[in-house]
Chain A
């Protein structure tokens, strides 16, 4: 039963990815202007252009191009970047870790902040503090990550410059690591100086991404916590002599978390989507920053690769949340 559900989910995921591929492909092929002509030096002959077009497969019909490209993708060949002339897969994979680290850091901050807001609000429910938290939360919710990024740049980059607001790592510290998961690998290699530098660079963009999500988590989790606090088993736990904090954390939290969890799944994909502009804003060398450069340079194969990778990431996150939900809910697990 569980396996069948899983297989159905994987099938729909594949259909979604195919749809994304088709749409990106179609959108990109109507680009006015010839990207190949742009990259040749002045004075190139028609023959040169034709040769390059043939090299990138741009001389074939659009459906033909699509299937050739798709065939390559299935075998792990995403084509060659027009601007850098390197394989797209390698380029994209070299940047993916930076974006993943940023997104996960943002998610951790959002969950911690949102959880804290929800727990504080629940502990102090029916007081003025709860009301004030609600108002602040509502504001945090309605202002998007881009604006929070700018506000943070002003506050912590200019007014009180304790954080670095540009780049991923200080130039003199750029590590020669086996992977591009710098944050992770610096811990493994006990390079705490580097780790600190990375965190200092990452914290502001991560916080900008985290604030709206934290507000959503705070709102929903508090709501379901407050509902849970009225349930009989919570009341029973109170008669056992447990403190209110203990009752909230051990009895209510686990049951209240489930509805929030599904929401975090969708919202986390929004957060990853937000890295595109936030990375640009903070000059953070990740996938999103590379994507904007690729769009500006009309680097079609690279754009295709990046968008597809984002789509893959989104669908994987949703899949993971579904699985996690099933694992955390004992009723579903035994069904």
Chain B
């Protein structure tokens, strides 16, 4: 039984006919880690944003359904939708430097949802906040609670954001390229932390990334996107043994292997891109008719 069930989701650029997502269908199981991969502009972030209801104003959902725990989000009035998302899902954002409010202390930024959305007692929320900061290996949680974001390093802030995401025990977490903005040295630790937290809490995780190497390590299944269209959806093991779609194969060939970083990388061949674009054009043709 999948926790997140997306069917035929279409998103257009507002005011145009141009589709950013072309009928995407996707399932994420209750404790599953799903990797969402593709080149930039493939629409992978767009899916995460659509699920969390934070699409930019320029994007507009024009069809399909997003079921979260059996409830179609797109059929709910905005207020209820937001409330439901706040209760059941959370985001680990891309850039820890901009994702914390500079004018608010860390503690309330983690604990506010527990009190306001989940209706916890203040004291309980505070205790939980301290506990979760401890869980993400932040030294002196009580001091960090009272700090402002600018007093913390980038890695620390990303830990805070991970803590904030897991604090309310959400059933689904969307991680939107959570390490791209970080130093290479910190990236590994943060990835490890996300995976550790996911394993401990048994949360479903939608992991948006362009890095197939990362996917091979922490995901169980993955979805490959091109031009807002699903190219292939597979188990991670099977995918890395034998990717089915030519575009997936090309993407894999273009990814550096951690086992052999010196091996030559092949850029995605033009013939394969033409093939992918053909699929996109076909999808548009069916949609417009």
Contact = CB atoms under 8 A, between A and B. Distances in A.
Given A233-B98, A255-B101, A255-B102, 13 more contacts: A232-B98, A238-B52, A238-B54, A238-B82, A239-B52, A239-B91, A242-B113, A242-B117, A246-B116, A330-B102, A330-B103, A331-B148, A334-B150
A242 B116 contact: yes
**For the complex of A and B, 6 pairs with smallest distance between CB atoms:** A241-B86, A232-B98, A241-B117, A232-B99, A240-B113, A254-B103
B188 to A, nearest CB: 23
A232 B52 CA distance: 13
Interface size class, chain A: 20 to 34
A235 B91 CA distance: 10
Interface in B54-96: 54, 57, 79, 82-87, 89-91, 93-95
Given A242-B116, A331-B150, A334-B148, A236 B86 contact: no
Contacts of B113: 240-242
A282 B175 CA distance: 62
Given A330-B148, A334-B148, A334-B151, A240 B99 contact: no
A239 B86 contact: yes
Question: B79, B82, B101, B112: which has the most chain A beta carbons within 10 Å?
Answer: B101
B118 to A, nearest CB: 9
Contact of B90 (A231, A239, A243): A239
Interface residues of B, number: 32
A243 B101 contact: no
Contacts of B213: none
Interface of A: 126, 231-233, 235-243, 246, 251, 254-255, 330-331, 334
Most A-side CB within 10 Å, residue of B57, B94, B103: B103
Contacts, number: 71
A221 B235 CA distance: 51
B150 A238 contact: no
26 contacts: A126-B57, A232-B94, A233-B98, A233-B101, A233-B102, A235-B93, A236-B91, A236-B93, A236-B99, A236-B161, A238-B53, A238-B54, A238-B82, A239-B53, A239-B90, A239-B91, A240-B90, A240-B117, A241-B85, A242-B86, A242-B116, A243-B79, A255-B102, A330-B150, A331-B102, A334-B151
B83 A235 contact: no
A180 B100 CA distance: 48
Nearest to A245: B79
Given A126-B57, A241-B82, A330-B150, A232 B117 contact: no
